[in-house]
A and B are shown apart, each in its own frame.
Chain A
């Protein structure tokens, strides 16, 4: 649907006629917010850069300068767009049909996750088979799970065995599985839905709820905690952002947000430079640490909110560069987020492989990072082209499915 919306804007009015949503008064803001696509695209690039092990370019990514990282951006925008797409669908076609679409989307993501898992297995099997350096005898134990493929593969299909860097999609799957009732409630009473989400978040913190993983431990991204960000994004999409706009416009908010970002930057610098740790008062570190990523620490959530508030302040909806060709690459990546996310994970594997087998120096790190982002852009452009050809070449026999939104939810 994203592309329909986009096409509707880009193409002449005659094409807009058969658009199935054209006759229906928009339930939510009709103008697509390109900022969402832009920042999701940027978040996908950052996730790719962070996933390349040892990469000098990853010093540019936001996780080194504050508490939150690209995952927060990705999950928030995913919640926002899920509500944008399926909220309209639920109003027009009812609970059952929109729920079925959401579940179909969850299934697509599941298949994508298993596909990535297969690639990961191939990579790990290859790399570790050439891995006999006695210095790393302990690390070579990572092959242990290959000794029991029957158990491991079943556990992977159950989303309980998740290799490194493959935690975001399972989180996304669970969030979508939980989404139909949440969306229903959001459309009935948004405040109650948001309150329920906060309640679940606090109960999770108090009672230690999480989903177990294999062989031990729990999920790296606890869905019961991270749902807060997803639901908050959905709430913003369904009118919450407008309700917040007086707050967001206030200069007090802006200065509080900037102050908090500077504070977080200062704290993070004491991690990079142990010498400066004495500047950190003891009572503060006792109160602050640990900053829990698994359960989306409040400090991380607040850091994301501060980033978002500052961003929204300086980049309004009608910011002219959003239409410029220079931001187009990031925007199209954000518009095909599932595909580009998977390609990013795959490219990070491939970059790592090149570094091991060919050369791992800074030149290669920069080249692999740049090449990876260019490939992501190229594939996003190809997907956009493909969709535009498909939608032009045939009259839509069936109503445009929310799932056609590709990366939109």
Chain B
């Protein structure tokens, strides 16, 4: 029975057509990237006010160490990619890095974040620190659900982002329960999930980026963050139906 399923799966993958993405050197299959959850608030802001604000909230894996880390990390790369693709829209991306904080601690900051930043979209990267701490996955899921509810009640669109794919530590940090939890919340609250785990795994498996490499070199971290930023931009453009606003030059 499983053999037929695998064949079906393979056919499904082959049938998935590719779509314009702003990441030619680290492509992602569409089935990993595009869902049915729409970013309506962002769409309205982009169409009516010609401007929107995105806040990225995340732990250490949303940052790149080093002096010029802030410019290399994916929030800044996302901003650059969106500005390039949407020349007629004023795009702001603010990064709120909260290393060593669990989902429940981060969710507590959302009321203030909504007041201070008035974001149209919040990208919430989560999971790794909770997994390292061994937080009860069910409690993690409930915290994420509460946090997303707060953000949505405050009028913001939400994208959830899960953990990095880290092959060296994969059997050591049990990520499964946390990525499942993020997936449940994304379904329940109809918010897109940026499946960073599967996307980075795809890059690794397809040979685009060798994540096994034992390197101290910062350039690989920069490259991965650049790819994440551009891929996330593709997801946002598609999710908020911003294709009509795209500049001709990028297509």
Contacts and interface: CB of A to CB of B under 8 A. Distances in A.
A275 B34 contact: yes
Contact of A215 (B16, B133, B172, B211): B133
B171 A286 contact: no
A217 B136 CA distance: 4
B170 A352 contact: yes
Contacts of A130: 214
Contact of A144 (B65, B132, B211): B132
B171 A278 contact: no
A65 B172 CA distance: 25
B213 A133 contact: yes
Given A133-B214, A135-B164, A274 B5 contact: no
Given A60-B2, A274-B34, A278-B36, A135 B224 contact: yes
B24 interface: no
A211 to B, nearest CB: 11
Contacts of B164: 135-136, 138-139
Given A215-B134, A290-B180, A348-B171, A133 B6 contact: no
A235 B208 CA distance: 53
B169 A127 contact: yes
Interface in B32-62: 32, 34-36, 59-61
Interface extent on A, as a size class? 35 or more
A202 to B, nearest CB: 17
A213 B31 CA distance: 37
Contacts of A293: 177, 180
Interface string A270-294: 0111110110101001100111111
Given A65-B2, A135-B220, A213 B169 contact: no
Given A138-B60, A274-B193, A362-B205, A133 B220 contact: yes
B35 A274 contact: yes
Interface in A191-216: 213-216
B214 A131 contact: yes
Across the A-B interface, give the 6 residue pairs with the lowest CB-CB distance, nearest first. A53-B170, A138-B60, A274-B35, A135-B221, A164-B174, A217-B136
A124 interface: yes
A128 B129 CA distance: 17
A383 interface: no
9 contacts: A56-B205, A60-B2, A60-B6, A133-B216, A136-B169, A139-B164, A140-B169, A216-B134, A355-B212
Interface string B1-36: 010011001001000100000000000001110111
A142 interface: yes
B141 A290 contact: yes
B139 A217 contact: yes
B166 interface: yes
A147 B114 CA distance: 38
A247 B212 CA distance: 52
Given A220-B174, A272-B31, 9 more contacts: A53-B167, A124-B172, A134-B216, A135-B221, A274-B36, A290-B138, A290-B180, A290-B181, A290-B184
A294 B177 contact: yes
Interface in B58-88: 59-61, 64-66
Interface in B84-136: 99, 128-129, 132-136
Contacts of B36: 274-275, 277-278
Contacts of B136: 216-218, 294
A403 B102 CA distance: 44
